[in-house]
Amino acid sequence: IVISLCSFLAGGRRFETLFQPGERRSLQSFFWNDGKLIISYLINLVPRFEMFTPGHQEWTRRVLDTLPAEGTVHVWSFDAAVHEANGEVLVCAQDPITPPQLLLFDLNAAPSLSASAILKRSPENFDASGLVVTRHEAVSIDHELIPYTQVGPANGNGDAPTHLSAYGGFGVSLLPYYNSPLGQLWVERGGT
């Protein structure tokens, strides 16, 4: 929740809600950059990002939809000192078939974010050609929908051997990431 300092000091208590968590929506992180608040959150384990700019009466919301939106994505300010931030952010993105990469984005680019510059990328340690990452939901015994990610051949028929690992209890999510040994020893050989 937010309120202008002047309004608060004058006795005002009309707070504005910028982010509301929900059953399938959880806040991951937030930080300030160039006078703007950037938040990172998950919806069904899918990363989403928004930028809020304070105004005289209300905040302006901008969905950062050109940032990577699959796998595990972390965003932070390029400059450690808030007063030096100029809108540039670093993004570390990976998914089960894409190795980690470090990207640079400019949040002040208009109308959309500037094309990212790849600063560094880890090597590909297994052949991911022909593989796809899909999202599904399992139904627990108490009828709770549990989101999960599956990696396997694009033309899979469901007969492949399956390696399953997960943890999502007590607000801790296991997000999909690039796992070289699993890719080399399992997925590359036809497993899912």
> 109 pLDDT band (50/70/90 cuts)?
confident
pLDDT in tens, 134-145: 988 889 899 988
Q: Please enumerate in sequence order all residues whose Cβ is within 8 A of that of 187, keeping only pairs 6 or more positions apart, or say none.
A: 96, 126, 128, 131, 151, 152
Q: Are 87 and 75 in contact (CB under 8 A)?
A: no
Both tokens of 86, joined, read: 């100029």
What SS3 state is found at 184? helix
pTM attached to this predicted model: 0.84
Q: Identify the band that residue 111 occupies on the pLDDT scale cut at 50, 70 and 90.
A: low
**pLDDT tens-digit series, residues 58-104:** 899 999 988 888 899 999 999 888 788 888 999 999 999 999 999 99
Nearest to 167 by CA among 177, 159, 158: 177
